[in-house]
Amino acid sequence: MSKIQQNLMSLQSYVLAEEREYPGATGDFSWILSAISLASKSIGNKVRRARIEDVLGDMGDTNVQGEQQQKLDVLSNEIIKACLGSRANIGALVSEEDETPTVLRSHKDGGRYAVLFDPLDGSSNLDVSVGVGTIFSIVRLGEGVKGTPEDMILNPASRQVAAGYVLYGSSSVFVVTTGNGVHMFVLDNSIGSFVLVKENLRIPATNKIYSINEAYADRFPDGYRDYLKWAHDNGYTSRYIGSMVADVHRTLIKGGVFIYPQTTDRPEGKLRYLYEAMPMSMLIEQAGGRSIAAAGTRLLDVKPSSLHERIPVVMGSSEEVQHVERFLSKD
Ligand code: AHM
Ligand code: MG
């Protein structure tokens, strides 16, 4: 196939073609993903014009997590809700920025899915033009499920049917899985479409890169410090942007391990289970990697007990996760 032919597969056509392979498929994913794609084009545009339109900086307000809300966090949250709110198969929208889910319609009225999202991850880096992104997860809602906070935390990973992120970096990259491998699309601004650049992305099994905020090392459990010492002695290099989407994207493409442990001042860790850890773990596993919350604990087997619960994360190349895990089991 020539390069031009390869580049002509849009995200929407790709998902439609994938769905067509399953007899009786309803087109649900293409319907939801096209709304996320629309929202991400709009958010990406805001991110790029932020300095010009003066929407950088914080709102002077904190979100439900007690963190400073950036103007763009609020805008991005509104954009996603506006783009997804009218899709007839979505029952609930669950945002990192909102205290409770936005319930749109019951299962009986067609609300078969909930979309969980971090509208603009890494937003504290916006003022310095570092890559930020939107992370999303699509979970199936069973019959009788209303989309309340209690419903959302009932074993969500087992109902997760798709996950992805959009990185607003030097290009806008849409990475998604519907449980059938990981596919990567890049926004072609000249035609306004995400076009397929890589089908069945696989994470390298190993690469000597760790990605962690090493400045907190004194506050990590011993096992992480022992791992870091071992990595220093074994020729590792370090890469840390401080924006999960960008750090996980690099890890997915180049291999290595992304780690955000618990610290003495944050005993649960920092990253949110539903909006950050759960979708990224599905992507990493679908690409052939591993994601754990502790030694011997697959992150996707953890059952959160509250909507905005946080969790320690070790994810990336399977061999690199194993190296970290070796030290954690000594704790
Ligand atoms: P946010 O959702 O408020 O943007 O916070 C999550 C971000 C992640 O993108 C990133 O991995 C982490 O916070 C960085 O935290 P730290 O600055 O403590 O290293
Ligand atoms: Mg965030």
* Lowest-confidence pick of 137-141, 150-154, 155-159: 150-154
Region 233-258 average pLDDT = 98
| Identical fold between 3-198 and 209-328 | no
Sign, Cα dihedral of 46, 48, 54, 55: positive
Which atom, in ligand 1's list, is nearest to the CA of 247?
Answer: 11
CATH superfamily of the 3-198 domain: Fructose-1,6-Bisphosphatase, subunit A, domain 1 (3.30.540.10)
C-alpha 122 – ligand 1 centre gap (Å):
5
End-to-end CA distance of the chain: 53
Q: Which CATH class is domain 209-328?
A: alpha beta
* pLDDT in the model for residue 142: 84
Region 186-197 average pLDDT = 95
Question: How does pLDDT run across 195-206, given as a tens digit for each residue?
Answer: 999 999 999 999
DSSP string, 97-137: TSSS-EE---TTTT--EEEEEEEEETGGGGGGT--EEEEEE
Residue to substitute in 121, 216, 314 for testing ligand 1 pocket (most ligand atoms within 8 angstroms of CB): 121
Which atom, in ligand 1's list, is nearest to the CA of 125?
Answer: 4
Assigned token pair, 109: 């009225």
| Residue 317: pLDDT over 90 | yes
Q: How far apart are CA 236 and CA 234, in angstroms?
A: 6
Burial class (CB in 10 A: 0-12, 13-18, 19+), 290: buried
C-alpha 125 – ligand 1 centre gap (Å):
9
- Please state the domain extents for the chain: 3-198, 209-328
| Residue 66: pLDDT over 80 | no
β-bridge mates for residue 209, sequence order? 237
Question: How does pLDDT run across 86-131, given as a tens digit for each residue?
Answer: 899 999 999 999 999 999 998 889 999 999 999 999 988 888 889 9
